[in-house]
Amino acid sequence: MPLIYVELQKVFEKCSKEYIFDVLFVNDGSTDNTIGEIEKLVNDNQNVRFIDFSRNFGKEIATTAGLNNCDGDACIMLDGDLQHPVELIPEFINKWEKGAEVVIGIRNENKSSGVFKKLGSAIFYKVINKIAEIEIIPNATDYRLIDRVVIDEFNRFTETNRMTRALVDWLGFRRAYINFNANERIHGNASYSFWKLFKLAMNSFVSLSLFPLQLAGNLGIVITLVSGLAGFYILLGKYFFHTPFASTFSDSENLAILLVFLVGIILISIGLMALYIANIHKEVINRPMYVVRKKKL
């Protein structure tokens, strides 16, 4: 029996008098016998369901699939590697009972995170909170309880490039927080590589803020002003006032400086706009966010 379900059962026994719990596993294209173990669990337990992806679609899409297929009064999302302490679930429920519609788990310490990951995370939250239209809570995790009304609103989102917790934050609603220390991973290694994290960060910048697009225009204005003033200074200094410094620039050098500035403006603008065009393209073609091989709901 999977360790995560064993630990969940202990929590369910404490809360069984007040609530009925269902467990929904989302198998995101695992290559081991995970789905086989889940199917055994489903056959022996009526409160267990599963969704099995045809391949790996990523954590954000797996979380979305879970929320799309949740039919309870509330949902608690957590990873299956036991890094999220399941013994805190009663505290999540308690804050929900007191009126919170979103209860967010805030990680104090992740024992398996390296220095570079911690530094990258700190930089990401600093930048995103400077440019985003909403506040993203640093060290907030996907370990959270979400009320039914929030789930229904979340399921209206259609974008495919998404950061689940950021979208939940965008929705608003009444929030409460629980701090926790992440446990060590019991088995396996984290599949979220540096490049996957970098891609998630870039998608978050594009989806949550127009600043990168505005930056291209602002940068173009600055470069145009600087190059214009420099060109005007060289023109006056060389041909009218004959200043020593301005006279050192040849006509070809003046033209080269102008072209470099103009090419820089064009390349920066095209590069930033391409991020938005790529997102528009993915939304327009309207591919499904995930493909299910089989499920029991």
How are the residues of the chain apportioned to helix, strand and coil, as percentages rounded to the nearest 5?
A: 55, 15, 30
Beta strands 102-110 and 175-182 are parallel
Domain boundaries, the chain: 3-209, 211-285
Q: What are phi and psi of 144, to 5 degrees?
A: -160, 155
User: Can you tell me whether residue 9 is helix, strand or coil?
Assistant: helix
Euclidean distance between CA atoms 150 and 174, whole angstroms = 10
Inform me whether the pLDDT recorded for 120 exceeds 90: no
Q: Please compute, for residue 82, the number of CA atoms within 13 A of its CA located in the half-sphere on the CB side.
A: 12
CATH number of 3-209: 3.90.550
Least confident of 107-111, 129-133, 191-195: 191-195
Euclidean distance between CA atoms 222 and 238, whole angstroms = 24
* CB environment 267-276: b (16+ within 10 A), e (fewer): eebeebeebe
Encoded amino acid at 109, one letter: E
Mean pLDDT throughout 257-271?
A: 75
Give pTM, 2 decimals: 0.68
Span 165-221, pLDDT tens digits: 888 888 888 999 999 887 776 555 555 556 666 666 766 666 666 666 666 667 777
